[in-house]
Amino acid sequence: DTEVTQTPKHLVMGMTNKKSLKCEQHMGHRAMYWYKQKAKKPPELMFVYSYEKLSINESVPSRFSPECPNSSLLNLHLHALQPEDSALYLCASSQDPDLSLIPKYNEQFFGPGTRLTVL
Partner 1 sequence: ILNVEQSPQSLHVQEGDSTNFTCSFPSSNFYALHWYRWETAKSPEALFVMTLNGDEKKKGRISATLNTKEGYSYLYIKGSQPEDSATYLCAPHGQGGSEKLVFGKGTKLTVNP
Torsion angle in degrees (nearest 10) through CA of 50, 7, 5, 56? -20
Residue closer to partner 1, measured from CB, 67 or 96: 96
**Interaction with partner 1 in 60-119: which residues (CB under 8 A)?**
90, 92, 94, 97, 100-101, 103-104, 106-113
42 binds partner 1 (CB under 8 A): yes
Closer to partner 1 at the Cβ: 86 or 108? 108
Burial class (CB in 10 A: 0-12, 13-18, 19+), 65: middle
Asked if residue 60 lies in contact with residue 107, where contact means CB atoms within 8 angstroms, the answer is no
57 binds partner 1 (CB under 8 A): no
Terminal-residue alpha carbon distance, the chain = 36
What residues line the site for partner 1 (CB under 8 A)? 4, 31, 33, 40-45, 48, 50, 55-56, 90, 92, 94, 97, 100-101, 103-104, 106-113
